[in-house]
A = this chain, B = another copy of it.
Amino acid sequence: MLGIGEMGKRHAENLRRLVPEARLVAVADAFPERARQVAEELEIDNSYGSLEAMLERKDVDAVLIATPDKFHATAITMAARAGKHIFCEKPLALTLSDAQAALAAVARAGVRLQVGFMRRYDPAYASAMRRIEAGEIGEAVVFKSIGRDKDAPPISAFQANVNGMLFYTNTIHDFDLARWLMRDEVSEVHAHTTVAVRPEIGQYGDVVASVVNLKFERGAIGNVESYQQAVYGYDVRTEIVGSKGAIFVGTLQQTPAIFLSANGSTQNLADHFLTRFADAYLIEMRDFVHNILHDKPLRVSGEDGARALAIAVSAETSYLQAKPVKVPLECSVTSS
């Protein structure tokens, strides 16, 4: 396990306690003391302050990468060269050329790579996909997705400059869902963005909210909204409308309890992605471990990572140039 932030620690906990097929032998983090503490807390035998050191271990078959976005591509390349299979959190990289370099390293090494689009494992999204594949909504015509976080990152997170802008950290999930659920490629994007209510993040090249119009290869259309600080809760919803019906995924509820008074009814709302998608992260990790061990195809390939990245890059270009932008469809080296 490389990178023991909030996300990396959740992956480590899942692997250690809930994925019996895996054995988590080591954790590494740029902050060796943090790696040591987490190793102790989770009863993992080894901790390291660098990826290099950890890669030397012969008993490491696969590496999980959950560092800040900026280091993903390099870490993939290093792990591939060391002959390890790889699970990398989204986004695959922050530029298309970095992504291609990483995928090339993976291909050369003959190892396998999965990207962390865990929503595909969410039971609600998975059931939606089954019904789409069964033809229940007919031909898909409109794809809509919303991703709202409750609390925006602190200003220091923008200053650190180790993650991509909103399209790479948040919207990329919806870009992947767009490709996956529509079973089609996105061919053009147009973005409107705003720094309203938090203009200070503009200087770090980021935005508070965005709406991105999508056009799909086969003619369908869509729109994806992202918002960093919805205040009221963590709110992820998707609608796919087709010629014979529609599917809505997502709900706001945190617990099934309603409080009623003379002022109306009140429900608590979900507040965090690790709450809403707790199951998805676990199922994802079990699936990755199982497929690696049994030499089965991985469910979310490096190419999936590259294609979602291509949409994010195009959305950023649309935002910077204030015009619609074609998405490059020949963007990646085959991998996985």
Interface of A toward B, CB cutoff 8 Å: 17-18, 123-125, 127-128, 131, 136-139, 141-142, 144, 146, 148, 150, 188, 190-197, 208-215, 218-223, 225, 227, 229-233, 241-253, 255-269, 322-324
- Inter-chain CA distance A251–B267, complex, in Å, is 12
Which of chain B's residues have a CB closer than 8 A to the CB of A267? Answer: 264-265
Determine whether the beta carbon of B196 is less than 8 Å from that of A220.
yes
- Inter-chain CA distance A197–B246, complex, in Å, is 14
Chain B, Cβ-Cβ closest to A43:
B20
Determine whether the beta carbon of A141 is less than 8 Å from that of B257.
no
Q: Which of B146, B196, B247 contacts A219 (CB 8 A)?
A: B196
* A215 shortest CB reach to chain B, Å: 5
Determine whether the beta carbon of B211 is less than 8 Å from that of A142.
yes
Which of chain B's residues have a CB closer than 8 A to the CB of A233? Answer: 260, 265
Which of chain B's residues have a CB closer than 8 A to the CB of A138? Answer: 197
- Inter-chain CA distance A123–B278, complex, in Å, is 15
* A189 shortest CB reach to chain B, Å: 9
Determine whether the beta carbon of A221 is less than 8 Å from that of B232.
no
Chain B, Cβ-Cβ closest to A127:
B257
Determine whether the beta carbon of B136 is less than 8 Å from that of A261.
yes
Interface of A is mostly: strand
Q: Which of B191, B218, B257 contacts A128 (CB 8 A)?
A: B257
Copy count, this protein chain? 4
- Inter-chain CA distance A14–B264, complex, in Å, is 29
Q: A17-B18, A261-B244, A265-B269 are in contact. Are A256 and B211 (CB under 8 A)?
A: no
Q: A127-B268, A265-B232, A266-B264 are in contact. Are A225 and B227 (CB under 8 A)?
A: no
* A165 shortest CB reach to chain B, Å: 15
Chain B, Cβ-Cβ closest to A250:
B256
Determine whether the beta carbon of A324 is less than 8 Å from that of B219.
no
Name 22 interchain pairs, CB-CB below 8 A, sorted by A.
Answer: A124-B255, A131-B259, A136-B259, A139-B196, A141-B209, A142-B209, A142-B227, A192-B214, A196-B220, A211-B214, A213-B223, A229-B243, A231-B243, A232-B260, A246-B260, A247-B257, A252-B265, A253-B256, A259-B264, A264-B268, A265-B266, A324-B324
Determine whether the beta carbon of B261 is less than 8 Å from that of A208.
no
* A15 shortest CB reach to chain B, Å: 12
Q: A223-B225, A231-B243 are in contact. Are A266 and B266 (CB under 8 A)?
A: yes
* A216 shortest CB reach to chain B, Å: 8
Which of chain B's residues have a CB closer than 8 A to the CB of A212? Answer: 213
* A76 shortest CB reach to chain B, Å: 30
* A178 shortest CB reach to chain B, Å: 12
Q: Which of B137, B213, B246 contacts A211 (CB 8 A)?
A: B213
Determine whether the beta carbon of A221 is less than 8 Å from that of B194.
yes
- Residue among A215, A229, A248, A258 with max Cβ neighbours from chain B (10 Å): A258
Which of chain B's residues have a CB closer than 8 A to the CB of A323? Answer: 323-324
Which of chain B's residues have a CB closer than 8 A to the CB of A262? Answer: 150, 231-232, 244-245
Which of chain B's residues have a CB closer than 8 A to the CB of A131? Answer: 259
* A59 shortest CB reach to chain B, Å: 20
Which of chain B's residues have a CB closer than 8 A to the CB of A123? Answer: 255
Which of chain B's residues have a CB closer than 8 A to the CB of A225? Answer: 142, 144, 223
